[in-house]
A = this chain, B = another copy of it.
Amino acid sequence: MTPSLDLVPRIVAGAVPAIGRLISRAEAGSAEARPALAEIYGRAGRAHIVGLTGVPGSGKSTLVATLTAHLRRGGQKVGVVAIDPSSPYSGGAILGDRIRMAEHVTDAGVYIRSMATRGTMGGMARAALDAVDILDVAGFDTVIIETVGVGQDEVEIARASHTTVVVSAPGLGDEIQAIKAGILEIADIHVVSKCDRSDANRTLTDLKQMLTLGALTTGRSEWRIPVIGLSAYKGEGFEALIGAIGDHRRVAFETEAGAQRRRAIARFRLEKTAENLLMERFLRKSGALSGPLAERLSARDGDPYSLANTLLEDALGPEAGGAGARS
């Protein structure tokens, strides 16, 4: 196996196999890759990171494909890190909607990576942000993090970007509308997809009204959140979206609010990485220990809290384990 550190100069040169390999090692949580990822982090910081999220059925994947095409036409190299739901058994990412990206697969100016959501406990955010840095260092100008707008981890990752785009669509059911309500507040840019539909106007008006009422503008007075209607079918609205992303890039890189946001992202990343390392260590040490304790729990010889404390003490010692948890 090529040592990860040897991959770094190849990544800097934009070599696709090296990019793929280091992302895979980051995703696997390989300790061997950490010095290389540290090196990558030190060189990153140039790319514009765009988080793109929306509920299932909002037309997110079509938007990513079209947006990529438009950015390419403007001469940019575009990276996409897509966080996909994964099967609890197979552990594999579902690549269904990646098919829509097929037009880009032969274009060296586009790199698309699907990541599974299996690495919970902070691992998904850590790996996704490592992947973004790798693409940044490899010379991609815009890196899109695409996540489904359901699940707290997914929403948090979409926020850990310079510019967050939230996609809404007309005519979704109640349940999806309710989920949507949870992600509207994170948008720097609102997009309403499927604007060739007659009911799209209602969605546009609703969003604009919420913005006018100040419901969705938490602490971002230096930026007027736009609401952009898109139709992938008619090819309308994409210039406006590209323009808004460019405008917000300036806010992100040239204002105090942008600097503050980058500090918040750094803090999120630090905490997620720490949580992930801690959980990794715990799981590595607890694996062999939890079976007998689970038997006791199953037999109701002990309760979840006291047995969990025992497991923590056995795995990590009294300081990090039970004693502290009891305090």
Residues of A within 8 A of B (CB): 31, 34, 37-39, 41-42, 45, 55-57, 60-61, 84-90, 94, 96-97, 117-118, 120-122, 126, 129-130, 148, 150-156, 159, 172-179, 181-183, 185-186, 218, 262-263, 265-267, 269-271, 273-282, 285-286, 290-291, 293-295, 297-298, 300, 303-309, 311-312, 315-317, 319-321, 324-326
Contacts and interface: CB of A to CB of B under 8 A. Distances in A.
A27 to B, nearest CB: 15
Nearest to A84: B178
User: Shortest 6 CB-CB distances between A and B: which pairs?
Assistant: A320-B320, A151-B151, A38-B303, A267-B294, A96-B178, A266-B298
B305 A286 contact: no
Nearest to A266: B298
A172 B58 CA distance: 12
Query: Which secondary structure characterizes the binding site on chain A?
Result: helix
B316 A320 contact: yes
B38 A306 contact: yes
A184 B59 CA distance: 23
30 contacts: A37-B303, A38-B303, A42-B300, A55-B56, A56-B175, A57-B175, A84-B178, A87-B183, A88-B185, A96-B174, A96-B178, A97-B175, A117-B151, A151-B151, A151-B154, A262-B298, A269-B297, A270-B308, A270-B311, A271-B290, A273-B305, A274-B311, A275-B279, A277-B305, A277-B308, A278-B279, A278-B316, A281-B325, A316-B319, A317-B319
A174 to B, nearest CB: 6
A88 B270 contact: no
A180 to B, nearest CB: 9
Nearest to A293: B270
Contact of A179 (B37, B94, B281, B312): B94
Nearest to A94: B178
Contact of A286 (B31, B179, B274): B274
Contact of A277 (B84, B86, B309): B309
Contacts of A265: 298
